Amino acid sequence: MLNGGTSGSNGMTAVGVIESLWRYPVKSMGGEQLDEVFVAFAGVMGDRLYGLINDKGNPAFPWHTAREQEDLLQYKPRYKHHSVTLKPEQLEAAQRLGPGINPLYPDAEQFAVEVATPDGQIFDLSSEAFMAHLKTVTQSDGLTLHFTQRSQYDCRPLSLFSRQTCDQLSEELEMDIDKRRFRANFYVTWNDEKPPLYEQDLVGRRLKIGDRLEISVLERDPRCKVITLDPDTSEANPKIIKHVAQAHEGYAGVYGAVLVEGTVKVGDSVALVN
């Protein structure tokens, strides 16, 4: 059990801890759980660096995601050079120069990915063989792979979701809700006295996480079809999004932006900057 929030002489109030950290190397594919990772102005390092684009799709939202191919969630990508994708090599030197210095990222080839398909095949993500596989599965010849070191999120660089909110939804729906449905970067456990949807109360506020990272909580996270999909089987359960829409105005969790870059690890304190 966590203690109640305490306000220190540094003008901050402890409100929770990081329960787990996640990133998603390929947009809409399976995620990976991390112990520690660098968080830059563009978001979690290595998060959604790759995305699939449908050249024949909506120009305003060209991404090919689990909305269109539900079993995309069961594709498991992994970085071939995992350790170098967690934080820049010269991070400490850059941070000694002062706040706001953006460290040099690894070269693009160091972010190379291989992906396991739901039926167990292994491909280099960037290979022609993988794209041929995907086009066969989807019966679409308009798919291309897009890469950037600065992430391809839908809306904001960071997403945060609390275990209490997950438990609340489980209780309301009378079923066990897997937190992974919500594909957050930071899963937080709030201190005992905080309400289940406490993250909504933080919109417009500033949080410090760990020793250095500071984020601004920008807005509630509007949910889409993806939360209806089981992360292991892709089986759809429409009543989840229907309930979120009716009981919570369609929102669950929050979006954030980075104000001060820093490394975050599981167990780090989350503090409200007063």
Report the CATH number that the domain containing residue 218 is assigned in CATH: 2.40.33.20
Among the residue ranges 3-12, 38-47, 89-98, 249-258, the one predicted with the least confidence is 3-12
> 75 in a domain, yes or no?
yes
Distance CA 23, CA 111 (A): 13
Distance CA 147, CA 262 (A): 23
Per-residue CA distances from 188 to 19, 209, 266 (Å)? 5, 11, 10
Q: For residue 14, give both structure tokens.
A: 């402890």
Per-residue CA distances from 230 to 47, 74, 149, 164 (Å)? 21, 9, 28, 19
> 135 in a domain, yes or no?
yes
> 17 in a domain, yes or no?
yes
60 compared with 134, residue with greater pLDDT:
134
> 1 in a domain, yes or no?
no
- The pLDDT, as a whole number, for residue 4 is 46
> 2 in a domain, yes or no?
no
Q: For residue 167, give both structure tokens.
A: 């438990």
**pLDDT tens digits along 160-187:** 999 999 999 999 999 999 999 999 999 9
- Residue 38, domain extent: 12-273
CA angle 246, 18, 25 (to 5 degrees): 80
Residue 100 pLDDT > 80, yes or no? no
96 compared with 259, residue with greater pLDDT:
259
Average pLDDT in the 142-151 region? 90
> 62 in a domain, yes or no?
yes
Among the residue ranges 4-8, 40-44, 78-82, 105-109, the one predicted with the least confidence is 4-8
> 146 in a domain, yes or no?
yes
Q: What is the pTM of this model?
A: 0.92
Residue 217 pLDDT > 80, yes or no? yes
Q: Where are the alpha helices (DSSP H) in 97-162?
A: 128-138
How many beta carbons lie within 10 A of that of residue 23, not counting itself?
Answer: 22
- Whole-number mean pLDDT of the chain? 92
Highest mean pLDDT among 134-138, 192-196, 205-209: 205-209
Distance CA 248, CA 267 (A): 29
- The pLDDT, as a whole number, for residue 208 is 98
> 3 in a domain, yes or no?
no
- The pLDDT, as a whole number, for residue 99 is 67
152 compared with 238, residue with greater pLDDT:
238
**What total of structural domains would you count in the chain?**
1
